[in-house]
Amino acid sequence: MAYLDHAATTPMLPEAIEAMTAQLAVTGNASSLHAAGRRARRTVEEGREMLAEALGARPSEVVLTSGGTEADNLAVKGLYWSRRTADPRRVRILASPVEHHAVLDAVHWLGDQEGATVEYLTVDRYGRVHPEALREAVGDHPETVALATVMWANNEIGTVMPIRELADVAHEFGIPLHADAVQAVGQVPVGFADSGLAAMTVSGHKIGGPYGIGALLLGRDHSPVPVLHGGGQERHVRSGTLDVPAVAAFAVAARLATERREDFAREIGALRDELVAAVRSAVPDAILGGDPVDRLPANAHFTFPGCEGDSLLLLLDAQGIACSTGSACTAGIAQPSHVLLATGTDPDLARGTLRFTLGHTSTRADVEAVAKAIGPAVERARTAGLT
C-alpha cells in the first residue's frame, strides 16, 4: 500500500514502540506514593522534561492530555471560562475560520451554551491569518476579548501561520493566544517560549508516537478552568490517571521528530515536490491548495475540477493508495471543506479535493504509484459525474 495520509496519523517510530513496550509490563500509578508509584512518576517526569526540551518549554508548562482534541478543548473552554470569571466583559472569542473541528466545535459550543460572542478572523486566499487581521478584529474594545485561537499550520492545505507576529499583536492587547500546533511539530520550527503563545496544543500520533496522548503547553501565568474534574493531576487543570507507557513513547517521538526536523523537511519536502509535479503533469488543471511556498513540507493538497473528492479517494484506495479528502475527523461527511470555503473557493470546487501527506516511511515508490493512478482516476471520476 502507498500510505499518503500521514497527517491523519503516522506510523509509530521504532524507538517510540521500544519505549512504550518497555513500560507496558511495569505496574504503578504515577499518583501513588509507594515505590511502584514513584517509579511511574519518575518515568512521567522524565518524559515531561524530554517533551519540554523538544518543544522549547519549561517542564512545568507541559500539561499531559489524552490527545489534541482534549488539549484544544481545555485551552479554548478553560481560558474562556477563567478570563470571563475574572472580568465578565470578556465574552468575545476571536478564531480563524480554518481551524480543526476540535477548536471550531469548542468555539461553537461556547457560543451556543455559554454566551460567548464568536468572531471569525479574515484569512487570505491561502488560508493565512495576517497580524493586521487580528489587530482589526480586536478593535477598540480589547478588554472584551477572552482569547484568540489560530492554528500554527493548517491540517488540510498546509499553510503555515505567522504565529510569532500574531502573538505579538495579542500580547499588545493583553489577550491570550492559543495555537493548535498538532501538524507543525517535526515539520517547521516550533518553540513555545519563542512563540509568545499563552497555550499550544500538540499530539503524539502525528509525530510517530502512540494514539491517545497529547499535551497542552500552558504558560505559567494562565490557569484555565478544568474541563475534567477528579484527582487534580497536571497542575489541577487536567485530572486523570496518567498513561505512563504512552507518555514515555510520546516523549521519545517528540525528541526524535524535532531532532530530525531539518532532514525531514529537506528529504520529504523534495519528495512532496515530485508528487506535486507528477499530479500536475497527469492532471494539468489540478489546483494546488494552500501557500505554494510557505507550507508544510509533507503536505500536497489538490482540487480537481469536475470531481467528487470521495469518489477519487475510493478509486485510489482500490489501487492501494491511501489519502484523504481533508481532515480524517470529518471524513465521510458529504460537504465542502470549511477551510476552502473560508479562502473563497467555490463550493463545487471545494468538494473535489484530495490531501496527500507524506511521512517518515514515505518513498519514491509511493509517489510513482500516485503518478500512475491519478490521471485515470480523475478521468473516471469526471465521467461518472456526467452520468
Q: Which residues are marked as active site?
A: 329
Helical packing angle, 244-259 and 35-55, nearest 10°: 20
Burial 151-188 (b: 16+ CB within 10 A, else e): bbbbbbbbbbbbbeebbebbeeeebbbbbbbbbbbbbb
C-alpha cell read off for 197: 503563545
**How far, in Å, CA of 357 to CA of 183, rounded?**
11
> Contact at 8 Å (CB) between 217 and 190?
no
The cell for 63 is 500539561
Name the nearest CA neighbour of 111 among 89, 151, 80: 80
